Chain A
Amino acid sequence: MQSLTMRGFRRSDRRAVLALIAADRLPGQPRPTATALVSALAARGPDGRPQARALQPPVTEILLDERRRITGVISYALRPYDDAGVVLWAHAAEDPSTMAVLMGWARVRLGPDRPWYAFPGIPATGTTEGLAGSRRPATTHALRTTGFTAIAERRYWNRDLRRNPPTGPLPRPLATAAPQHGPAASCSGSPERTALRPPKPASTPRTAAPPTCTAS
């Protein structure tokens, strides 16, 4: 019987935890940095905003094997407004037994009978919300065997620009970027005037004459 130990995250664990996170990266995701880890420990995303709404301060704990090596890490929190437990992120090199221990530990710590959500937001160490089902089979299995089901799914796409660069001429007319205001901003007028504006002289400030956009 292995002797496993759970304890709170310590600053000295950073390197090992970053290695566990890096091992679960998807193609295109940046290598996690120490700064990103600090944000993730505070349940913040890459843009500094909270990873999920109205959470209590998250708890991050690590799992040590009998040789005191770090084999897994999990960050979880209580969300008082709906009394839900939230698994923010967890990494264990996709070892099934380690991930099962981590998930079971978090549920026991916060109460197994409360509703639970897992991987609801974008951690600072990644660029996507949700758990990658194919690349994280042990984590997915650990969730499903404890009664979790997928409630929102997104597809993640990648294009390798070095192996497969765009060819042909740059498509014209050039679109110009302009800030959109509000969560449901929309453009009015013809697409030719708004979405596809003709190229401007180089001296024209980029912020001048934005497309006709209104927030709705």
Chain B
Amino acid sequence: MAEADRSRGLGRHLLDQCLFHAARTGAPRLTATTDATDLHAPAVRLLSRSGFTPVDTLAVHHRPGRPAGPHNP
């Protein structure tokens, strides 16, 4: 949602329509993902208040490389 349009209920309105459409067309469930950073706190609140439950946290993992050296060619 654009910054200027936040806190106006637009997200809730759109999400409610999405829920209605999904239920009406026979979808058994609706899933969503949000960024885990604080930037997405409004989206987290919106989903929580709309009956969504957090299932899990999904993570991309990284392991840095080891530079080549005399003991690590």
Q: Which residues of A contact B (CB under 8 A)?
A: 26-29, 83-84, 112-120, 127-135, 140, 143, 146-162, 164-166, 170-171, 174-175, 186-187, 191, 195-196
Residues 1-32 of B at the A interface (beta carbon under 8 Å): 2, 5, 8, 10, 13-14, 16-17, 19-20, 22-23, 27-32
Contact B28 A152 (CB under 8 A): no
With A113-B66, A166-B19, A195-B14 given, is the CB distance from A157 to B47 under 8 Å? Answer: yes
Which 5 A-B pairs give the minimum distances between C-beta atoms? A130-B58, A28-B31, A150-B59, A115-B65, A153-B36
Contact B23 A133 (CB under 8 A): no
With A130-B59, A148-B63, A156-B57 given, is the CB distance from A161 to B27 under 8 Å? Answer: yes
Contact A154 B34 (CB under 8 A): yes
With A157-B34, A159-B29, A191-B8 given, is the CB distance from A151 to B20 under 8 Å? Answer: no
Cα of A115 to Cα of B63 in the assembled complex, Å: 6
Q: Which residues of B contact A (CB under 8 A)?
A: 2, 5, 8, 10, 13-14, 16-17, 19-20, 22-23, 27-36, 44, 47, 50-66, 68, 72
With A161-B30, A166-B23, A195-B5 given, is the CB distance from A152 to B56 under 8 Å? Answer: no
The answer, among A119, A152, A156, A196, for a CB contact under 8 Å with B55, is: A156
Contact A171 B16 (CB under 8 A): yes
With A161-B19, A175-B14 given, is the CB distance from A117 to B61 under 8 Å? Answer: yes
Contact A154 B58 (CB under 8 A): yes
Contact A154 B35 (CB under 8 A): yes
The answer, among A112, A115, A157, A164, for a CB contact under 8 Å with B33, is: A157
29 example contacts (A-B, Cβ-Cβ < 8 A) are as follows A27-B31, A28-B29, A28-B55, A113-B66, A114-B65, A117-B60, A118-B60, A118-B61, A118-B62, A119-B58, A130-B59, A131-B58, A146-B63, A149-B63, A151-B62, A152-B60, A153-B60, A154-B33, A155-B35, A156-B58, A157-B31, A157-B34, A157-B54, A159-B30, A161-B27, A165-B23, A166-B19, A171-B20, A186-B2
